[in-house]
Amino acid sequence: MVFEHSDNKLQLYPIPAGIPVQEDYILRVRPAGAAEWQELKTYRVKVDMHDVRLASMAYFDFAGKVEVEITFPRFYTVYRVDIRPLSLGIQPVIEPKRVTFMLDRPVNISVEINKDRFHNLHLFAGAIEEPPDKNGENVLVVRGGLGDSLNPELERMPEGWTVYVEPGVHYIGECIWRLPSHTNIYLEGGAVLIGGLALENGEDLHISGRGILYLADFHRFSSINGIRLNHSRNVTIENLIFINPPHYTVSLGQCEDVIIRNIKSFSCEGWSDGVDMMSCRDVLVEGGFLRTSDDCVAIYGSRWDNFGDSRNVTVRDIALWADVAHPLMIGTHGDHQRNGDIIENITFENIDILEHHEFQSGYLGAMAINPGDKNLVRNVVYKNIRIEPFEHGKILDFQVKWNKDYNPAPGRGIEQIVLEDIQVMSGDGEEPSVVSGYSEEFKVRDVLIRDMTRDGKPVHSLEDANVHIGPFTENIQLE
pLDDT of residue 435: 98
- Closest listed residue to residue 353, CA positions, set 401, 289, 415: 289
Answer whether 0.95 is exceeded by the pTM: yes
Q: Can you tell me the mean pLDDT for 330-352?
A: 97
DSSP lists the bridge partners of residue 45 as: 55
Give the model's pLDDT for residue 274.
98
Spatial distance between the Cα atoms of 193 and 466, rounded to a whole number of angstroms: 45
Q: Give the distance between the most distant pair of CA atoms in the chain.
A: 70
Preceding peptide of 85 cis, ω within 30°: yes
Q: What pLDDT digit, counting tens, does each position of 167-189 carry? A: 999 999 889 999 999 999 999 99
pLDDT at 56 over 90: yes
SS3 content of the chain, % helix, strand, coil (to 5): 5, 55, 40
Query: What is the spatial distance between Cα 301 and Cα 254, in angstroms, rounded to a whole number?
Result: 9
- 310 and 297 in contact (C-beta within 8 Å)? no
- The pLDDT tens digits of the residues spanning 278-333 come to 999 999 999 999 999 999 999 999 999 999 999 999 999 999 999 999 999 999 99
* Alpha carbon 77 to its chain's center: 32
* Contact (CB, 8 A) for 184 and 206: yes
Quick: pLDDT tens for 371-410: 999 999 999 999 999 999 999 999 999 999 999 999 999 9
- Residues contacting 177, CB < 8 A, separation 6+: 146, 150, 151, 193, 195, 196, 197, 198
302: Cβ contacts below 8 Å, ≥ 6 apart? 278, 279, 308, 333, 334, 335, 341, 373
pLDDT at residue 143 greater than cutoff 90? no
CB 93: neighbour CB atoms within 10 A? 11
pLDDT confidence of residue 221: 85
